[in-house]
Amino acid sequence: MTVSEGKHIDKKELRKQQTKQLHKNKTLTRIEGLQLLKKLQDTSEWKNAKTIATTVSSLIEVPTTPIIEAAQAEDKQVFLPKTMPHRQMAFLPFTNSDDLVRSDYGILEPVYNENLVNQTPDLVIVPGLAFAEDSNYRVGFGGGYYDRFLAKYTGKTVALVPSAMYFDTADWEIEDYDIKIQKLICVN
């Protein structure tokens, strides 16, 4: 117990709240996602990246199909995560939607091939449920996959933050293993 605990919302509670909120805001998130992609394309991080990691979005996240298509149109290679044992992620090249397989968590993933893994893409677009603008901390789905991966990753990181995921400040508890996103791209 810490004295400051009272003003923090439990991460699990926040995830529950945000999941509900994001379901209500799907349409807005989709529209804002296109604006956020435009802003992303204006950044040096995007322009300088030859290899980009994103995800296959679930219904409540910023849709990633437009991101994948924009990257491909600019001859950038796209990598997608496959969840592995011990809460590790392997990033594998995106070839074609038909080659993706649904994971136990219901997310489409590329098929594992040790020869194709790339853990050092130039830019990682980090997913999440909530982002704090003043500190760049995030809350994800709770697997700790990105925190583990980013602990070793030394390239560029950005996150696209629609209004439903936006927080001025982190009113949740920051843990030692939480990793800040280098650049948050927000609406307006």
Ligand X SMILES: Nc1ncnc2c1ncn2[C@@H]1O[C@H](COP(=O)(O)OP(=O)(O)OP(=O)(O)O)[C@@H](O)[C@H]1O
Ligand Y SMILES: Nc1nc2c(c(=O)[nH]1)N(C=O)[C@@H](CNc1ccc(C(=O)N[C@@H](CCC(=O)O)C(=O)O)cc1)CN2
Note the residues at the interface with ligand X (CB under 6 A): 11, 139-148, 151, 177-178
Token couple for 179: 């990793």
Interface with ligand Y (CB under 6 A), residue from 83, 118, 120, 182: 83
Query: What number of CA atoms fall less than 13 Å from residue 48's CA on the CB side?
Result: 9
- Site membership for ligand Y, residue 112 (CB under 6 A): no
The CA distance from 150 to 153, in Å, is 5
Considering CB distances under 5 to 8 angstroms, the limit depending on partner class, which of ligand X, ligand Y, none binds residue 112? none
Residue 67, φ and ψ in degrees, nearest 5: -70, -45
Window of 65-73, 140-148, 158-166, 170-178 that interacts with ligand Y by CB under 6 A: 140-148
Distance of closest approach, residue 112 Cβ to ligand X, in angstroms: 18
Distance of closest approach, residue 57 Cβ to ligand Y, in angstroms: 5
**Nearer to ligand X (CB atom), residue 38 or residue 87:** 87
- DSSP H or E run through 125: strand 123-125
Residue 3, φ and ψ in degrees, nearest 5: -65, -35
Residue 138, φ and ψ in degrees, nearest 5: -135, 160
Task: Say if residue 158 is exposed, middle or buried (CB neighbours under 10 Å; 0-12, 13-18, 19+).
Answer: buried
H helices present in 90-168, as ranges: 145-152
Considering CB distances under 5 to 8 angstroms, the limit depending on partner class, which of ligand Y, ligand X, none binds residue 166? none
Considering CB distances under 5 to 8 angstroms, the limit depending on partner class, which of ligand X, ligand Y, none binds residue 83? ligand Y
Site residues, ligand Y (CB under 6 A):
15, 55-58, 61, 81, 83, 89, 105, 107, 127, 140-143, 145-146
